[in-house]
């Protein structure tokens, strides 16, 4: 899940957290099943593909394959063969026992989210995608081809639909899997424009230039051509962190908010270089959710955070609003008008 992997050795009565690499809250995208006598299991997260040889009780300190891993699958016919999908590189295959060597098939544009090996034919491999449909390989994963189907096409789940502030006739819609759609007639008709290659949290039209859009997610990305091509402008240091807020001032300065590290990053040169703030020191157990930069005084920043506790209690002092008057060098809990004299109890509404 979003908080990592939990392991039970008493048939589910109790669970304990089992960390992949450095301890932390890591979003697990996929976990392979344990089959036969083997105790090997593999997990995928934003850092890569991880391996455990004791059924998930302990994990290697480093990933077998580094990258933004979407899914992995063990070949039921050839136990040494492991399939993996990285978001930017597509399908990769390893046939050695330690999985130190990988053959890159590619096919990243297919947005594969699942790999299935036919239980009766070791050479028949299916690649499933919520974006591009079903693909099949008849030679063990190489040369996959799209499968023609009579299944009715479905409308993708959209996470953002935005009109451009400069060219108000243009609108961009982005699906939950990062497919970009463009409308040039105020949303009456739409056509597929391109692909983000990430799960977006928001899309914002540039305040000064038509055709330029910004997208936030595990990276900050920019397109100069209405969504056809995208470039990475900012990459968080941690693969588990996400950009959850973006603000661009009239003078061109960019500000973004990082979720897990609770940092505000700013750039005065269009994203070429970035300066990081400090996090609110008294709120280590919270994630950032949104922020606002004062357009009159950009050193004045307000940040909203939320607790990570499963259920908020009056003894939980994490989360809530924070304010900085020096560009994020120091933060104080925001009291006036937002936190009542009851103090801790008023944090309930922020969490």
* pLDDT tens-place string over residues 162-197: 999 999 899 999 887 788 999 999 888 999 898 887
Query: Looking up tokens 């996929």, which residue turns up?
Result: 30
C-beta separation of 184 from 227 below 8 A? no
Asked which of 43-57, 103-117, 189-203, 330-344 is least confident by mean pLDDT, the reply is 330-344
Whether residue 207 is predicted with pLDDT greater than 70 in this model: the reply is yes
Q: How far is the C-alpha of 209 from the C-alpha of 207, rounded, in Å?
A: 6
| pLDDT, position 290 | 94
- Predicted structure pTM score: 0.69
Q: How confident is the model at residue 308 (pLDDT cuts 50, 70, 90)?
A: confident
- What residues have CB less than 8 Å from 17, skipping those under 6 apart? 3, 4, 5, 6, 7
Give 154: exposed, middle or buried? Use CB within 10 Å, 0-12, 13-18, 19+.
exposed
Average pLDDT taken over every residue of the chain = 84
Q: How far is the C-alpha of 207 from the C-alpha of 307, rounded, in Å?
A: 33
Q: Which of 107, 218, 228, 128 is nearest to 179 (CA)?
A: 228
């Amino acid at each position: 899940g979003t908080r990592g992997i939990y392991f039970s050795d008493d048939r589910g009565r109790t669970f304990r957290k089992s960390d992949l690499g450095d301890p932390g809250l890591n979003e697990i995208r996929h976990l392979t099943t344990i089959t036969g006598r083997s105790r090997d299991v593999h997990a995928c997260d934003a850092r890569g593909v991880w391996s455990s040889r004791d059924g998930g009780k302990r994990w290697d300190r480093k990933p077998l394959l580094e990258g933004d891993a979407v899914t992995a699958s063990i070949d039921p016919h050839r136990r040494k063969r492991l399939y993996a999908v990285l978001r930017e590189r597509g399908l990769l295959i390893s046939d050695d026992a330690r999985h130190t060597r990988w053959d890159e098939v590619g096919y990243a544009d297919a947005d594969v989210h699942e790999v299935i090996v036919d239980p009766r034919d070791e050479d028949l491999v299916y690649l499933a995608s919520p974006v591009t449909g079903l693909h099949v390989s008849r030679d063990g994963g190489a040369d996959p081809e799209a499968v023609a189907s009579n299944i009715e096409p479905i409308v993708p789940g959209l996470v953002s639909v935005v009109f451009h502030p400069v060219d108000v006739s243009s609108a961009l819609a982005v699906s939950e899997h990062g497919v970009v759609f463009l409308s040039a007639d105020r949303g009456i008709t739409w056509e597929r424009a391109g692909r983000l290659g990430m799960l977006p949290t928001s899309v914002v039209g540039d305040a000064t230039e038509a055709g330029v859009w910004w997208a936030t997610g595990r990276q900050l990305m920019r397109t100069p051509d209405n969504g056809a091509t995208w470039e990475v402008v900012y990459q968080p240091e941690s693969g588990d962190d996400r950009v959850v807020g973006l603000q661009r001032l009239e003078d061109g300065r960019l500000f973004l908010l990082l979720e897990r590290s609770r940092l505000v990053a700013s750039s005065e040169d269009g994203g070429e270089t970035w300066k990081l703030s400090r996090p609110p020191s008294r709120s280590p157990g919270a994630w950032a959710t949104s922020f606002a930069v004062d357009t009159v005084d950009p050193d004045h920043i307000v940040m909203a955070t939320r607790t990570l506790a499963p259920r908020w209690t009056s003894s939980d002092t994490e989360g809530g609003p924070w304010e900085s008057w020096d560009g994020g060098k120091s933060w104080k809990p925001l009291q006036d008008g937002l936190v009542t004299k009851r103090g801790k109890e008023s944090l309930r509404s922020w969490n």
